[in-house]
Amino acid sequence: MSQSRPSRPSTHHVEHSSTHTDPAGPEQAAGSEGSPVSPEPTGSVTSPAAVSADQALTPPGVTSAPAGTTAPRHAPSQQSRPGPQDDIMLATGRPRQVERPKPPTQEQIRRQPGRKAWVPNQHGAWSMLVLPPIVGWVVGGFSWVNLLFLPTWWGGYLTYWSWSQWLRTRSARKRAIIMLPLLVYTGWTASLALITLLVAPYLIQWAVPLLPLFAIALHQVWRGHERSLLSGLSTTMAASLMAAVTYSLAVHGEGGFLGLGTPSSPLPGASPSGALTGWSWMWLVTALTAAYFGGTVPYIKSMIRERFNYVLLAGTVAAHTVVAVVTWWLASSGMLPWGHAVLWVVLTVRSLVMPLWQWRLVRRRHRPLRPGTMGIVEVVMCVAFLVTISV
């Protein structure tokens, strides 16, 4: 049935011939044209002009009846049948309800490349881009090469973001929107990386641990799993390695391949007891940085995308508990500040209390914590991490 509004009845006059022919024949009918003709029981007579007019008014796709026969009765072609909305309007007097398109969901907005082609919407990534290099500066010191390396690192993340947008987009029109920032960020990163390597060629060794991590992340994006746990862990590990990279810039590449060799001179950085110095202390700090950012991946998932996932919550709390126990043992041995060990106890309690509080708010009030609130908490934790590890 048609859902369109019924129109007014047709004003066109359509004549049909009867089932019986006039015994007088068409000649007599033509001779009486223009004079009044009384109706006869045997039927009416039509002129050739009327027949041609009837054929002109016949709707397309409808076969007109042959001359001398009665055409079947039917509704005019421009008269549409009423639909359910018209029945409701006639019965209740209420106007027809027009279905409005539903507003896009947050997931649909996130997948619109035109909105986020230049600036990533992963606000939690900014702390990963900033904190690890600062940790390397605190331990080893600042080098002027960081003025080249940091823009390269940030451009590398923006390039990864653009390529991930391009890989998960199937529309040619949307890929064309992404193409400009992709080319800009790729050219920016490639040119700065070349200059940085010419200034500090020993940085090429860090491609060994970084390339596999980026390959895993891009493979997850290509499969459509950019929000998976594996993708999050690979990107956080790569970001955490920036602490060791900036330390390598501070010591001018001394310490052998990835800092696993023997340095020719004492290097900056030492544990509270002095048992760990140089690269030994720096790798412990880098591991703790990776543990912190890696732990935020399942923790944030249990707050937003994986609510009421008790298995994920149990794994998150267990991982934080293991790190807290290890840091407590290291602090008792003098290889780690006590303040940092206490921070990991706080992080463990946070990984359990915050998700349970979030789930309770969702069940009772249907109003969970906003991502901005969780972001403020993590900023405080990042500052506490930096302060406690550098004391």
pLDDT tens digits for range 118-172? 777 776 788 899 999 999 999 999 999 999 999 999 999 999 888 888 887 778 8
Measured at the CA of 308, the angle between CA 303 and CA 312, to 5 degrees, comes to 75
d(CA 297, CA 60): 65
Does position 39 have pLDDT exceeding 80, yes or no?
A: no
Q: What is the chain's mean pLDDT, rounded?
A: 79
**Cα separation of 319 and 342, whole Å?**
16
Q: Tell me the mean pLDDT in the region 56-69.
A: 48
pLDDT at residue 227, as a whole number: 83
Q: Which range has the worst mean pLDDT, 35-49, 77-91, 93-107, 349-363?
A: 35-49
- At residue 224, the pLDDT reads 80
Structure-block tokens of residue 286: 């880098």
Q: How many residues does the chain have?
A: 391
Query: Where does residue 318 rank: exposed (0-12), middle (13-18), buried (19+ CB within 10 A)?
Result: exposed
The pLDDT > 70 percentage for the chain reads 70
The model's pTM? 0.69
Residues 265-290 have pLDDT tens digits of 789 999 999 889 999 999 999 999 99
Can you tell me the mean pLDDT for 245-257?
Answer: 93
The span from the CA of 158 to the CA of 154, in Å, is 6
Alpha carbon distances (Å) from 114 to 39, 121, 366: 74, 12, 31
Share of residues in the chain with pLDDT > 90 (%) = 47
- pLDDT surpasses 70 at 43: no
Mean pLDDT for 332-340 is 94
Give the model confidence (pLDDT) of 91-117 as tens digits.
Answer: 676 666 655 666 555 455 445 544 566
**Which residues fall within 8 angstroms of residue 286, CB to CB, at 6 or more apart?**
132, 135, 240, 241, 243, 244
Higher pLDDT, 388 or 390: 388
Q: Where are the domains of the chain?
A: 125-143+204-390, 146-199
pLDDT at 27: 42
Round the CA-based radius of gyration of the chain to a whole number and report it.
Answer: 39
Taking the alpha carbons at both ends of the chain, their separation in whole angstroms is: 78
304-334 pLDDT, tens digit each: 888 899 999 999 999 999 999 999 999 999 9
Model confidence pLDDT, tens digit, residues 366-386: 888 888 888 888 999 999 999
Whole-angstrom CA distances from 79 to 4, 24, 146, 251, 279 are: 10, 37, 77, 87, 87
Give the per-residue SS3 of the chain: CCCCCCCCCCCCCCCCCCCCCCCCHHHHHHHCCCCCCCCCCCCCCCCHHHHHHHHHHCCCCCCCCCCCCCCCCCCCCCCCCCCHHHHHHHHHCCCCCCCCCCCCCHHHHHCCHHHHCCCCCCCCHHHHHHHHHHHHHHHHCCCCCHHHHHHHHHHHHHHHHHHHHHHHCCCHHHHHHHHHHHHHHHHHHHHHHHHHHHHCHHHHHHHHHHHHHHHHHHHHHHCCCCCCHHHHHHHHHHHHCHHHHHHHHHCCCCCCHHHCCCCCCCCCCECCCCCCECHHHHHHHHHHHHHHHHHHHHHHHHHCCCCCCHHHHHHHHHHHHHHHHHHHHHHHCCCCCHHHHHHHHHHHHHHHHHHHHHHHHHHHCCCCCCHHHHHHHHHHHHHHHHHHHHC
Using the Cα atoms of residue 109, residue 110, residue 112 and residue 114 in order, give the sign of their dihedral.
Answer: positive
